Amino acid sequence: MRDLVVTENITVDGVIDASEGWFDPTSSADPAQAAEIARVQGEHMATADAVLLGRRTFEEFRGFWPNQTDDETGVSDYLNRTRKYVVSKTLTEPGWENSTVLSGPLADQVTGLKEQPGKAIVATGSIQLVHGLVDAGLVDEYRLWVYPVVVGRGRRLFEDATQVPKLRLVESRSFGSGVVLMRYRTA
């Protein structure tokens, strides 16, 4: 069975909602530090062959990543060629190559994807979707890119801590930028 991996950029105080402007995927104060993080992200992309997104995040990605012609991180190329699944009750035509709309019951649809052969499936952003995946017990791993930022408000990864599984730390890496990657497997 394929793993479902939730990857989130998160603040020290647990916020994954980037609407306050604390996270910008195209900016970096130091190119060497950005390259260091991009290398690890490349390692992660090599372990997955599908991306699972909520409608809003999918539409944001679709409007941004295919247009990045000078993307040195490899994210644009990866997203354009990788199988994408968008969970939506309203979207009918995804409008991005290699994309499929999932409109049935979340647990059934995602369990079906996990049962197919292949590498890991990565869910990123997509706060409402991720909360549903956590509640349904479908997440196998969390990759949290913890940024040295405190915003004090915003939607958090674990809004309802009663549904959080036991987690086991499997990796911790710090980067010169102050970002820390924390990888947890569900126990």
Question: Could you tell me the residue ranges of all domains in the chain?
Answer: 4-17+30-186
What digits encode the pLDDT tens for the residues 107-137? Answer: 999 999 999 999 999 999 999 999 999 999 9
What digits encode the pLDDT tens for the residues 135-179? Answer: 999 999 999 999 999 998 889 998 876 667 899 999 999 998 899
Q: How far apart are CA 72 and CA 34, in angstroms?
A: 10
Report the topology of domain 4-17+30-186.
Dihydrofolate Reductase, subunit A (3.40.430)
Closest CA to 81 of 61, 66, 64: 66
